[in-house]
Chain A
Amino acid sequence: MSAEKEFITLLNQHQKIVYKVCNLYMDLHADREDLFQEITLQAWKAYGNFRGDAKFSTWLYRVALNTAITYFRKEKRQPAIYATESLPERQQEAPDPVEEQVKAMYVAIGTLSKIDKAIVMLYLEDYDYKEIGEMMGITANNVAVKMNRIKTRLKEETQKTAANY
């Protein structure tokens, strides 16, 4: 199998990772599509050096996060309101409280900085602090402290958002 076909097959199997990063970093559908394209191209360019000593998913996370963090849009297509496109319309009937909490948490994650979003993403993927530290280039201790701060901030943000519903 040629390297290109091999890469396409692997990316096709792991494309959810790329979508996750795009959803986390971009508010609008068009921006997500652009970022998806950018991550795919950057991954393809770096694929020649992927030796298989790490899992493809871990390697792809690293490429995707590096691309998303350094991705720069000159113009915003419209004022950023995080994830409004992907959120369902507010229902008139009694809303599901868990769904509301998820929605509030999703919005709260959107308010985090690019670096904190990356840490949250890896945390949600169940990477331990040491692995997150290796991917981010910081110590496990630093990740632990940052994660605590992030959790506190998310709790406060979700409470604020919940109060507005």
Chain B
Amino acid sequence: MELDELKSLINQKLTTDHSGRSANDIAQLLTRKTGSVIDKLKRSLRIEVICCIAAILLFAYIGIWGHFTSLRIYFSVFALLSLVFLGILVHLYKRINDLSATTLPVKSNLQTILHIIQEFSKRYFQFTMALLPVCFVFALILGYTENNKPDLPVLDKAVADKLNTGWKIISFVVVYLLILSVGLYYFTKWYLHKLYGRYAAQLKECIAELEEQV
């Protein structure tokens, strides 16, 4: 038999396979948390916005009232970068809110969700990568040129013992920066893929199926 011949029976089976809920049960459901990926992303964005604001305030405080010039410059740059990132987070949060309030056709809905996830992953990656030169190179230059350096006898002795020539210091710094940069690059890629990679692939699969030429 074909689908059309069984249409009413299948329809009936799909409709009757349930126990039914009262209005009170439905009212209770409205108080629960959603489990969708996009709502989890929204919750995570909310936490990140709060953390970002707290970080900006802390960095700005150190940037203005810090004792060392190098630290003041360093944290001021950090505060500015975090401010840019905060703008991106707020923009993404607003887009998710707009999406929740509308009821798009299936294809547009899939495309919008995929775009939000891809944009979040891209910006997150860009921000992490932008921090690399700030954290490592910029910090190194600032630390090196700081006039008012505090004495760190243990560290100074270790450096004097092990890194006693110019080329050793340069080699150490280059290797150190390379390992950290490459490590962080791949870790961030892996982490974002682990969070949203599989989901994004499923969304792409559905979109491709809808876009399939007939």
Residues of A within 8 A of B (CB): 4, 8-9, 11-12, 15-16, 19-20, 22-24, 32, 34, 36-38, 40-42, 44-46, 48-50, 59, 62-63, 65-67, 69-72, 86, 98, 101-102, 105-106, 109, 113-116, 118, 120-121, 123-125, 134-138, 141-142, 145-146, 150-151, 154-155, 158
Contact = CB atoms under 8 A, between A and B. Distances in A.
B15 A70 contact: no
A86 B12 CA distance: 13
Contact of A44 (B4, B30, B202): B30
B103 A63 contact: yes
B161 interface: no
Nearest to A145: B214
Counting contact residues on chain B (CB < 8 A from A), the size range is: 35 or more
B38 A70 contact: yes
Interface in B6-65: 6-7, 9-11, 13-15, 17-18, 20-23, 26-27, 29-30, 32, 34-38
Contacts of B10: 102, 105-106, 109, 124
8 contacts: A20-B15, A32-B18, A41-B29, A45-B100, A102-B13, A105-B1, A120-B3, A124-B11
Contacts of B22: 12
B29 A15 contact: no
Contacts of A65: 106
B107 A138 contact: yes
Main secondary structure of the interface of A (DSSP, over half): helix
Interface in B108-139: 108-110, 113
Contacts of A141: 214
B26 A12 contact: yes
A124 B202 CA distance: 25
A62 B199 CA distance: 21
A70 B6 contact: no
Given A66-B103, A102-B13, 17 more contacts: A16-B18, A19-B18, A23-B14, A24-B14, A38-B35, A38-B36, A45-B34, A46-B103, A49-B101, A70-B37, A70-B110, A101-B1, A105-B6, A118-B106, A124-B14, A136-B105, A145-B214
A88 B106 CA distance: 33
B210 A137 contact: yes
Nearest to A65: B106
B28 to A, nearest CB: 10
A69 B203 CA distance: 9
